[in-house]
Structure 1
């Protein structure tokens, strides 16, 4: 079947059929034509795109894909993409806006970098999305619980990253995103294609999929691109402060993320089925607790009578 890209995304709640960081692909209100790729066409495009330089992939994206955004946590690869975009001479002027998920648990160095990037690229528009109902780490803890990433890491990922991503895609009517994922980062990214379509119908483009960490770092150096100061302190991949550590020489680039845990992704790039199971389990527990409470109330009432 063809893979379809919806013109916009409907509202999704935390405990419904939504399964990942991307909203449902269906919409009865869609009025714009859908972007359609057959499986054969997608394979053909990947065969062509994998031999192009990242700048050429980006030029193709800008002139081909509607409602294109860059999702970024301001890692090295994302910064290289941002710099490349700023230097493209494309047939029609278009600045690709950024989407930044502020989990409220970033390092202070990461937040300082966001300001430096804004200063370096004044024409850049950064859309910041935070967890619902919270503007600070303290508010997040009060609303959802202290150290939630330890008590329930799946729920933390949903609240801090997945739901805000859904909201961003829905509100901005996103059809396609540029990501900073690369094959050399290892784990589930080892067989990454340049062009993907997730189960919700979102186009995801990985322009630097073929590049190594050293290639990205050299680009940053050669072009004097601002970067996270933590990279000079042994970090290679920087996420939340509570789940990111420096890496040793020779270790995988993302080995400093979620050390001691089986996970390698925060949920935004995980299969939808994982979150379907997670949300269904949450709803099942809620219903069981409600039923148990109702039975207890009945027993108390009967005893009083």
Structure 2
């Protein structure tokens, strides 16, 4: 059952916003929000500071994780959570998708963060069947991000993310998305539910880059040194550039193209369709080769 599924509501559901189905523990559903409840939550959470949103998440959401590529906003969240540790007993683990194409500065930052916050558990997920760049090339070919961009997004980011959610039994994730980053993020809610029922919380959705940067400096949080070289949003080395004065934060990601997201926050149905298309192409290629082989035998 999706966490955002429409169904007839009982009077009890309408009053509470929760749907448990029964008081029996064995029959209680997983985290579930009705549309009215989700709307109400967003109206209330919009009024809170990020630290208070994080407190609400820890108290309210089971199996809560933070997904991060160690961007500036994600680092603020890591630091805030560490400071909440004194008053909140729940530890929020990190999920890092190592695409095998991060900048060396990003990988160095991962080590710095682990040393600064040794209490944080880090779960690293890589493309399936590849532990390093050489293995990735052998399995998927050279410059896959150019030859088949959709497939690259799937194998490097989307599939590892979904594998992490499944293996870790993730019900909710904290993200580093903000409205001020522009693009599709301009109308972000604090809390969202995707097609598969995964709850996504954007605790710093209402902060701008200046606020994030001020927090980092004020609290001496380690950050990616590429930010001192004109970068504001850092992804894979092959699709990230510094930006110019006045450009949106994420203008350096996939510069000159209409693309604004890597796929992790896109509709999952889009990738289900993509996988079906890939399977059909493989079947067509197998059929073509079988026909050619048969013709050669007859000749």
Give 2:268's aligned residue: 272
RCO (CA 8 Å, sep 6+): is it higher in 1 or 2?
Answer: 1
4+ residue stretches of structure 1 with deviation over 6 A?
Answer: none
Q: Contact between 1:179 and 1:204, CA under 8 Å: does it hold in 2? A: yes
Give 1:211's aligned residue: 207
2:172 and 2:214 map into 1 onto residues whose CA distance is 27
Please state if 1:64 is matched with 2:51: no
Q: Contact between 2:2 and 2:197, CA under 8 Å: does it hold in 1? A: no
1:138 and 1:298 map into 2 onto residues whose CA distance is 36
Give 1:286's aligned residue: 282
Give 1:13's aligned residue: none
Q: CA deviation at 1:298?
A: 2.8
Q: CA deviation at 1:42?
A: 0.4
Q: CA deviation at 1:32?
A: 7.0
Deviations 1:45-91 (A, max 9, x none): 00000110000000000000000000000000000000000111576
2:294 and 2:130 map into 1 onto residues whose CA distance is 37
Give 1:12's aligned residue: none
Provide the TM-score with structure 1 as the length reference.
0.88
Give 2:3's aligned residue: 3
Please state if 1:297 is matched with 2:296: no
Change (3 A) 1:250 1:285: same
What is the total number of aligned residue pairs between the two structures? 279
2:289 and 2:104 map into 1 onto residues whose CA distance is 44
- What are structure 2's unaligned runs of at least 5 residues? 6-25
Please state if 1:185 is matched with 2:191: no
- What are structure 1's unaligned runs of at least 5 residues? 6-29
Q: Contact between 2:4 and 2:35, CA under 8 Å: does it hold in 1? A: no
Q: CA deviation at 1:273?
A: 2.7
Please state if 1:247 is matched with 2:243: yes
Q: CA deviation at 1:158?
A: 0.7
